[in-house]
C-alpha cells in the first residue's frame, strides 16, 4: 500500500511539474514575442544590430520549439480552456485598440512608396492600357537610373489590387483587409488540419493563441492600415497555397504559390525551394507554371522593362542604414551572400530525400527566411509582415514545448 501511494504521488507530482513547465512555456513565449515586437515598433529605420538581435531571438525560439516537437505531453483540458479564454480576451483588446488607432486610415490612400506606386500602376494598366514597367513617372527618384523607374513588383500585384484603379484609396485598403483575412483564415486552417484527433479545446486554444500572436504586433496594423504596405498579399497566397498542399490539392497549391512569385518573387521563391524534393508532384509544378502566367504575359509585352524593374534592380540594390552591411567593414560583406547560399543549400540537401509535413515545411521556410532577411541589404519594416503569421503558427503549434518535459 505504501509503495502504491508513493507511486501515485510521484505521478501526480510529475504531472504537476509538466503542467507548470507547459504553462511557463506559453507565458515565456508570448511575453518574449511581445517584447521583440515592441522593439521592432520602437526601432524602425536604421538600428540594424537591434533588428539582428530581434530576429535572432525569434530564430532561437522557433528552432527550440521545433526541436522539442517529439516530446509527448498529457495536459489537462482546463489548461486549454484557460488559454482559449485568455487569448480571446487579448484578441478583443487588440482589435479594440488597433481599430481605434488605425481604423480611420482605411479610407485614405496609401502613403508609402510600395503602396502608392501599386495604385498608380493599376490605374496606368487598367484605365489607360499602358505598361507600368515602361513608365518613367512611377518612381521618380534621383538615385534610380532611368531603366529602374517603372513598377518594382510583379504583375500579379496589379491583379490583386485592381480595385484600387477604380476606387482610389479605399479600394487599395479594402483589398489589403481581404488579404489580411485570407492570411488569418489560412493560418487557422493549417492549424486545424495539423491537429486532427486532438480535443476540441486543444484545437480551439491553439487557433486562438495563433490569432493573438498574429494580430499582436502594432507594426502589422500600421503597415497595412496606415501607410499601405502590400506584403500581406503575397504572404496570403503562400499560406492559402499551403492549405491546398496540406489537403493534397497540388495543382491549386502550385497555382497560388506561382501567383505569389509573380506578385513578389521574395518570399515566394524561398518557400518554393522547400518543395524541391525527390517526392515533388508534377501537378504542383504545372500549377506553378500556370500561376506565373501574368509575369509571362508582361515578358512578352516588354521583357527588358520587367526584368530591369522586378529582378535586376533587387540584385543590384545598394545597402542602406537598416542592414548589417552598414555597420560591417566592406571586406566582410561577402559573408552575407555566403550565409544566404549556405542556408539554402543546407536545407535543399537536408530535405531532398524527405517527405516533409506541413509544419516542418513552414518551419524550414521561416528559419531560412530569417537568415535571408538579416543578411539582406535592406531590413525594412514592411518585410516583417512576412513573418507574423509564420511565427504565430509555429509558436502556437509548439507553445508547450519550450522546456524539456520530465
Distances (CA, A) of 99 to 37, 223, 278, 375: 18, 13, 46, 34
Distance (Å, whole) CA 144 – CA 323: 19
**Is position 275 within any domain?**
yes
In Å, the largest CA–CA distance within the chain is 88
Could you give the 3-state DSSP secondary structure of residue 312?
Answer: helix
Chain segment 328-339, per-residue pLDDT in tens: 999 999 999 999
What cell was used for 58? 525569434
Residue 313 CB contacts under 8 Å (≥ 6 apart), including other chains: 144, 148, 152
DSSP string, 199-250: -HHHHHHHHHHHHHHHH--HHHHIIIIII---THHHHHHHHHHHHHHHTT-H
pLDDT band for position 406 (50/70/90)? low
- Is residue 160 pLDDT above 90, yes or no? yes
What cell was used for 270? 524561398
**368 neighbors 347 (Cβ within 8 angstroms):** yes
What cell was used for 393? 503558427
- The sign of the dihedral angle between the CA atoms of 265, 271, 385, 60 is negative
Kindly state the DSSP code that residue 162 receives in the 8-state scheme: T
What cell was used for 384? 516583417
pLDDT band for position 374 (50/70/90)? very high
pLDDT of amino acid 405:
72
Distances (CA, A) of 226 to 103, 120, 264, 335, 386: 8, 18, 21, 36, 17
**274 neighbors 350 (Cβ within 8 angstroms):** no
**325 neighbors 336 (Cβ within 8 angstroms):** yes
**Is position 71 within any domain?**
no
Kindly state the DSSP code that residue 139 receives in the 8-state scheme: T
Number of domains in the chain: 1
pLDDT, averaged across the chain: 92
**156 neighbors 295 (Cβ within 8 angstroms):** yes
pLDDT band for position 316 (50/70/90)? confident
DSSP string, 266-299: HHHHHHHHTT-STT--HHHHHHHHHHTHHHHHHH
Could you give the 3-state DSSP secondary structure of residue 55?
Answer: helix
Distance (Å, whole) CA 273 – CA 145: 31
- Is residue 7 pLDDT above 50, yes or no? no
Domain that holds residue 226: 77-397
Give the residue from 162, 201, 197, 196 showing the smallest Cα distance to 178: 162
Q: For residue 117, with 0-12 CB atoms within 10 Å meaning exposed, 13-18 middle and 19 or more buried, which class applies? A: buried
Could you give the 3-state DSSP secondary structure of residue 375?
Answer: coil
- Is residue 81 pLDDT above 60, yes or no? yes
Angle at alpha carbon of residue 112, lines to 94 and 155, rounded to 5°? 105
pLDDT band for position 5 (50/70/90)? very low
Chain segment 322-370, per-residue pLDDT in tens: 999 999 999 999 999 999 999 999 999 999 999 999 999 999 999 999 9
Torsion of CA 66, 70, 71, 73, to 10 degrees: 100
- Is residue 231 pLDDT above 50, yes or no? yes
**Is position 49 within any domain?**
no
Cβ atoms within 10 Å of 165's Cβ, excluding its own = 21
**Is position 23 within any domain?**
no
**19 neighbors 83 (Cβ within 8 angstroms):** no
**225 neighbors 102 (Cβ within 8 angstroms):** yes
Residue 250 CB contacts under 8 Å (≥ 6 apart), including other chains: 244, 281, 283, 284, 287
Query: Distance of alpha carbon 314 from its chain centroid, rounded?
Result: 20
Chain segment 243-269, per-residue pLDDT in tens: 999 999 999 999 999 999 999 998 999
Residue at grid coordinates 503569421: 389
pLDDT of amino acid 233:
97
Amino acid at each position: 500500500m505504501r509503495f502504491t501511494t508513493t507511486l501515485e504521488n510521484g505521478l501526480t507530482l510529475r504531472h504537476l511539474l509538466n503542467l507548470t513547465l507547459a504553462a511557463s512555456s506559453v507565458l515565456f513565449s508570448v511575453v518574449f514575442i511581445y517584447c521583440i515586437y515592441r522593439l521592432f515598433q520602437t526601432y524602425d529605420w536604421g538600428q540594424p544590430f537591434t533588428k539582428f538581435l530581434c530576429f535572432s531571438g525569434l530564430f532561437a525560439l522557433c528552432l527550440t520549439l521545433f526541436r522539442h516537437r517529439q516530446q509527448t505531453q498529457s495536459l489537462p483540458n482546463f489548461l486549454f480552456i484557460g488559454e482559449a479564454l485568455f487569448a480571446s480576451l487579448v484578441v478583443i483588446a487588440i482589435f479594440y485598440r488597433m481599430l481605434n488607432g488605425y481604423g480611420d486610415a482605411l479610407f485614405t490612400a496609401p502613403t508609402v512608396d510600395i503602396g502608392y506606386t501599386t495604385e498608380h500602376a493599376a490605374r496606368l494598366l487598367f484605365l489607360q492600357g499602358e505598361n507600368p514597367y515602361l513608365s518613367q513617372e512611377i518612381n521618380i527618384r534621383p538615385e534610380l537610373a532611368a531603366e529602374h523607374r517603372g513598377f518594382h513588383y510583379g504583375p500579379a500585384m496589379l491583379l490583386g489590387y485592381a480595385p484600387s484603379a477604380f476606387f482610389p484609396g479605399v479600394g487599395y485598403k479594402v483589398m489589403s483587409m481581404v488579404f489580411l483575412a485570407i492570411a488569418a483564415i489560412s493560418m487557422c486552417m493549417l492549424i486545424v488540419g495539423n491537429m486532427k484527433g486532438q480535443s476540441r479545446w486543444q484545437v480551439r486554444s491553439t487557433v486562438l493563441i495563433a490569432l493573438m500572436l498574429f494580430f499582436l504586433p502594432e507594426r502589422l496594423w500600421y503597415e497595412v492600415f496606415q501607410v499601405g504596405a502590400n506584403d500581406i498579399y503575397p504572404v496570403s497566397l503562400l499560406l492559402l497555397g499551403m492549405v491546398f498542399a496540406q489537403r493534397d490539392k497540388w495543382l491549386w497549391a502550385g497555382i497560388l504559390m506561382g501567383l505569389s512569385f509573380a506578385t513578389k518573387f521574395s518570399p515566394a521563391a524561398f518557400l518554393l525551394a522547400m518543395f524541391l524534393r525527390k517526392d515533388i508532384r508534377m501537378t504542383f509544378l504545372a500549377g506553378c507554371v500556370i500561376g506565373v502566367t501574368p509575369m509571362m504575359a508582361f515578358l512578352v509585352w516588354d521583357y527588358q522593362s520587367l526584368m530591369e524593374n522586378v529582378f535586376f534592380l533587387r540584385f543590384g540594390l545598394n545597402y542602406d542604414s537598416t542592414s548589417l552591411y552598414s555597420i560591417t567593414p566592406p571586406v566582410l560583406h561577402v559573408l552575407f551572400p555566403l550565409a544566404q547560399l549556405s542556408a539554402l543549400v543546407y536545407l535543399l540537401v537536408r530535405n531532398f530525400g524527405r517527405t516533409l509535413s506541413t509544419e516542418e515545411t513552414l518551419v524550414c521556410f521561416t528559419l531560412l527566411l530569417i537568415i535571408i532577411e538579416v543578411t539582406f541589404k535592406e531590413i525594412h519594416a514592411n518585410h516583417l509582415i512576412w513573418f507574423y503569421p509564420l511565427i504565430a503558427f509555429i509558436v502556437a503549434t509548439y507553445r508547450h514545448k519550450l522546456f524539456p518535459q520530465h
